[in-house]
Amino acid sequence: MTNPGNNSNLVYTTADGSNCPDCGHRLDACICGTDQPQQGSSHSKIRIRLDKKGRRGKTVTIISGLPLGEKALQEIAAEFKRKCGTGGSVKNREILIQGDRGKKLLQLLEKKGYKAKISG
């Protein structure tokens, strides 16, 4: 019997409840509520790459792998957009910034204590 107050689309699971229902990570590695960088985290590889596919030739800089929750991603994306003087968004746990801003974003991430690499 399902709980009528539960809006989950979960049909069946063999998990013992040790995974976060929001991000899917183990509870001890949950990143949903994390607002600070996880220093020395070996499982997070922060990458900065350029992309033009499906954007009518317009360049977008994409930051992926940040170990932050959705709200924190929105906040850091807003800060990056202000500092770069351009638009952007957050989609699929990635920050998209308009234009070729890889070097600037790398500097901003390093100031915040993240180790990132420009890829691609």
Q: What pTM did the predictor assign?
A: 0.65
Nearest to 36 by CA among 112, 93, 117: 112
Q: For residue range 72-95, what is the model confidence (pLDDT) as tens digits?
A: 999 999 999 999 999 999 999 999
**Residue ranges of the chain with pLDDT lower than 50?**
1-2, 35-43
Residue at token pair 């998990």: 15
**Domain 35-118 in this protein, CATH class:** alpha beta
Find the helix or strand (DSSP H, E) in which 39 lies.
none
Q: Residue ranges per domain, the chain?
A: 35-118
Q: What pLDDT is stored for residue 65 in this prediction?
A: 93
Nearest to 73 by CA among 20, 26, 32, 113: 32
